[in-house]
Every structure is written in structure tokens, then in C-alpha cells.
Amino acid sequence: ALVDQAHGHCLMVIIDVVYNHFGPDGNYLHQYASPFFREDRQTPWGDAIDFRRPEVREYFIQNALMWLCDYRCDGLRLDAVHAIDQPDFLVELAQRVRAAVEPGRHVWLVLENEHNQASLLQQGFDAQWNDDGHNALHVLLTGETEGYYADYQEKPIEKLARCLSEGFVFQGQANRHGTPRGEPSGHLEPSSFVLFLQNHDQIGNRALGERLTRLCSPAALRAATGLLLLAPMIPLLFMGDEDGSCQPFLFFTDFHDELADAVREGRRGEFAHFKAFADPEQREHIPDPNAEQTFQASRPQSKQVLAGWHGLYQQLLDVRQRHVIPHLPGSRALGAVVLGDQALTARWRLGDGRILRIDLNLAATPQVVELPAAQWRLFDSSDTRHPDTALSAYSCVVSLLPPGQERP
């Protein structure tokens, strides 16, 4: 009934499926089906699931087919597939799904995959969440470089430029641990990548659950939002983004007894190596995941929002619907040029031959650049008028140019 109602409103329903682990509570498979797991491989959630076994593969494939064929959902987002040590299972799942869906019906298969396996996006999967794009933008917006953001602290604007022109930042390069990560992705269409400024993981896994509305200037966030919603990548919005919510989104659970204690202490232990929580007394201020007030504090409140933000999203989504979405098929990146430490120009040829150009400046000072004429502009985030030879501080200018204007 829920899916039917959504379809009646022209909305797709995509299910977030977790095939890489089971939860820590209420899972009894170990007691009556121990071969489901392999003790020689561990994940952050315990023994790895044994995808070498045909019966285990079939269990998950049938689950996918249930959502897509019985409930007629429109797609699946597969959680953390990097924890599945048999990538050929993913290819088999995609093949079975494509074979089961009737001709003329398209379902979306989207991956979360830290390994940046671009090859999977040519083997039945439509897109991948692009953590690289988020991480580079987060460093540029906030200056934070602890944890996994350390991989993006050196020349983050160059990493963002690579993301916009080639998809992934890490395409085989070593990460901060010296481990090669990723596969070449520049041959893929921009719509193979899901771009976001925030999501449940990136906010909820922070110690205090702060949103970008608390971490950077509204002008910088407005400029980044222009990039997010008008670039040819697929934009992902987190609840509250469209209103500029300032409410935190905290890590919350409803565990009890020993498990609740373990989660609480484990959560605080995660942040022991962060400067802000080096002192044990400081870690005591990290909210208890099992406290009801932690959940209540995470509910977006309409009064704690940025003024005019809802209208900004309406404007940008309308522009995207009219000028970008109809021409996504066949679109190709034409490259990105770094203009300064926090500024760049990126260009794409859309399917109709026109050139989409985005000039972005996340610095507090103007950036010299020859901008397209005002007649071609779809969006300008600047609060003040600027000459056509400069980008204002914290600004995004989006232009749609006639075919043939490939040069920046």
C-alpha cells in the first residue's frame, strides 16, 4: 500500500538493504545455521557472511527479488558492499535482478562501496554513493582533517576537481594507510555517481551530530548547494537539508542492558583520538545513544532553520528539472580547472550538445575568472553584484552555453 501510494504521487521507492552483516541483537542464525558465517573473516560487525555458499547467495538474491517483484519497489541501495569479500556475488545478484524484471521496467541498483570498484558500474549497477566528493567538499567547507578526512587535507580543491571530471578521487592511489584504493572511473557517465553534502552516516557518526549549518558559513553552504543540485551527478539530500535545518542528527539506538552499555562506551571510545575529546571528561559529554532525549534531539524542528533555504532548494530543483535532467543521457565531463586554493571551473557536455559550466568559489575572498555572459546563467548564489571577471567570495555561478563552447 505504501509503494502504491508513492507511485500515485510519481515517487519512486528505493529500499536500503544491508546484505553485509546482521545486527548485534535478535540475530539467531549463528545458533541454527552456523555455516552461514565464516570464522576466518571478520567485519566490524562480527564474523563475515559466507558468500561462497550457493544457498547463502540465494537467500540474499531472493530477498532482493522480493522487494523488487513482490512489493514492486523501484530500486535497492546496497549498504557497505566493501564488507562482502566475494564481489562476484554482486555481479550475480545484478544479473538475476535484470533477468527477473519485465521488459520496459527499470529498477535502480545503487552501491555504497569504499573500494570504489568502478567495474561494478558496468556490470548491472547504475550508480555508487561518491564518498570522495563529499569528503573533499567537507574539508573545503569546514577545514576538518581528522579521521578519514586526512586523505583529503592535501589540496582538497584538486581532489574535488578530479571528482567532478572523473568520478572518483581514489582510482588506485594509496590512502592514508598506504593501501591502494579504487579503480579508474573517468570513462563513466556523471550520472553513475551519487553526490551529497550530508547523509545519515556523515552526520550521525559525528560525536555531536552537527550539520553543516553549524560548521560553515551559510554563504559557503549556499554555493556548495548550487554545485550539488545542478551538477550532472545524482544529488542526494538528507532529511532537513531542504530547510537548512540546524538540528543535530545524533547516533541513537534502543538497545538494553549489557549491549546498551557496550554501545555507549564503544561510541565514546571511538573519539579518543580526536583532539576535542582527548580528555576522558570531554567524552562524557557525547550523548548516550540509548537515551530517549538523544532521539528526540535528532528530530528536525521547523524553527531551527536557515532563512530562505526552502526557497533556495525549490529554485535549484526547478532549474535542474527543466535544464539538466532531460539532457543527462549521453552527458560527458569536459574537465575541471583549479582556479585557486578553494575555487574551480567544471564543465560537462550534456546530451543535447550544450555545455553546462559551474564556477565555484568556497574562499572568503573573490577569485579572478572570466565568467560567461549573464544571458547564459541558470543560477548565481552571490548576494552582491560582481564583474564578469571575478567570482565573489563564497559563490557558485552555473551557466548553460550553446554547443561548441568547450573552453573555460
* Domain at 2-332, CATH from 3.30.1390.10, 3.40.50.720, 2.40.160.40, 3.20.20.80: 3.20.20.80
Q: Are 225 and 316 contacting, i.e. CB atoms less than 8 angstroms apart?
A: yes
Band (386; pLDDT cuts 50, 70, 90)? low
Catalytic residue among 112, 241, 242, 288: 112
Catalytic residue among 50, 74, 79, 241: 79
Query: Which among 274, 275, 268 has a CA at the least distance from the CA of 290?
Result: 268
Positions of E strands within 108-249: 108-111, 127-129, 193-196, 234-236
Of 77 and 270, the one with more pLDDT: 77
DSSP state of 178: S
pTM of the model: 0.95
Mean pLDDT of the chain: 94
Whole-number pLDDT of residue 30: 86
* The pLDDT of residue 24 is above 80: no
Report the C-alpha dihedral over residues 301, 307, 310, 314, rounded to 10 degrees: 180
Q: Are 313 and 242 contacting, i.e. CB atoms less than 8 angstroms apart?
A: yes
79 belongs to the catalytic site: yes
* The pLDDT of residue 19 is above 90: yes
Mean of the pLDDT values across residues 359-385? 92
> What does the DSSP assignment read for 203-215?
HHTSSS---GGGT
How many whole angstroms separate alpha carbon 123 and alpha carbon 310?
38
Whole-number pLDDT of residue 268: 87
* The pLDDT of residue 385 is above 70: no
* The pLDDT of residue 101 is above 70: yes
Q: What is the residue extent of each domain of the chain? A: 2-332
Positions of E strands within 223-299: 234-236
Q: Are 340 and 371 contacting, i.e. CB atoms less than 8 angstroms apart?
A: no
Q: DSSP alpha helices (H): ranges in 76-155?
A: 87-100, 131-142
How many whole angstroms separate alpha carbon 198 and alpha carbon 222?
14
How many whole angstroms separate alpha carbon 178 and alpha carbon 189?
29
318 belongs to the catalytic site: no
* The pLDDT of residue 167 is above 80: yes
